[in-house]
């Protein structure tokens, strides 16, 4: 089958060097990724294949002696996987130890997850898991102030404002940082609307996972 420029020869080399059991797994992952995201780009980072969308890491795959792994990148898609009970936090990658193709999500579900992850990148809702590491390496900087639009929205909702005021500084920062990091106006507006709704109910930013 003819392949376009989006197929990186270095990834072919990586797959061909993998253990025999791993090769069909890696090939299957690769084909599903390209099926879901026609414009995805392949690269090699840290000696393993990565898939990127618009220069941003979407996911990576790896082969080991007895299993393979596939890891989504981005805090938002990780939350989606956790909610769908697909996340395997005790293993390298997002989907746990993969020893056969059947260990992967079904193609339909896998494609949907990949499309959702790509959309998060394209709409500016993606937060790299490397962000916290970068913050540790850098000199301390002042946390961003609450965006003006968020302050205005709080003033218009007394319950949300009262609950926000009562939160600890770290709980407040979870909201203000999340909103301030939005790259597009549409994304920021959606996050503010969600924040006001949750705050009016006394919920913290990550309320969905507090009882997990």
pTM, rounded to two decimals? 0.60
Assess whether 13 and 76 both reside in one domain. yes
**pLDDT at position 10:** 96
Question: d(Cα 94, Cα 113) in Å, to the nearest integer?
Answer: 12
Q: Of 62, 92, 122, which residue is a domain's last? A: 122
**pLDDT at position 135:** 42
Q: Per mean pLDDT, which range of 1-15, 68-82, 153-167, 177-191 is the poorest?
A: 1-15
Summarised one tens digit per residue, pLDDT across range 94-122 is 888 999 999 999 999 999 999 999 999 99
Higher pLDDT, 141 or 65: 65
Assess whether 13 and 81 both reside in one domain. yes
Helical ranges in 59-205 per DSSP H: 75-83, 107-122, 131-137, 148-155, 158-166, 169-180, 185-200
Summarised one tens digit per residue, pLDDT across range 48-83 is 999 999 999 999 999 999 999 999 998 898 888 888
Summarised one tens digit per residue, pLDDT across range 3-43 is 666 799 999 999 999 999 999 999 999 999 999 999 999 99
Assess whether 109 and 157 both reside in one domain. no
Assess whether 160 and 91 both reside in one domain. no
């Amino acid at each position: 089958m003819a392949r376009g420029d989006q197929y990186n020869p270095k990834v072919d080399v990586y797959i061909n060097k993998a253990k025999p059991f791993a090769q069909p797994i890696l090939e299957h992952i690769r084909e599903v990724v390209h099926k879901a995201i026609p414009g995805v780009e392949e690269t090699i980072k840290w000696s393993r294949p990565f898939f990127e969308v618009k220069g941003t890491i979407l996911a990576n795959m790896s082969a080991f002696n007895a299993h393979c792994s596939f890891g989504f990148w981005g805090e938002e898609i990780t939350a989606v996987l956790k909610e769908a009970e697909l996340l395997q936090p005790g293993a390298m990658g997002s989907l746990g130890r993969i020893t056969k193709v059947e260990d992967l999500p079904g193609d339909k579900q896998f494609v949907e997850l990949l499309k959702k992850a790509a959309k998060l990148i394209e709409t500016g809702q993606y937060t790299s898991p490397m962000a916290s590491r970068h913050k540790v390496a850098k000199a301390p900087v002042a946390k961003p102030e609450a965006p003006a639009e968020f302050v205005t929205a709080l003033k218009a909702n007394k319950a949300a404002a009262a609950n926000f005021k009562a939160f600890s500084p770290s709980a407040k920062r979870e909201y203000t940082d999340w909103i301030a990091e939005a790259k597009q106006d549409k994304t920021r507006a959606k996050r503010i609307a969600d924040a006001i709704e949750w705050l009016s109910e006394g919920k913290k930013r990550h309320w969905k996972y507090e009882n997990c």
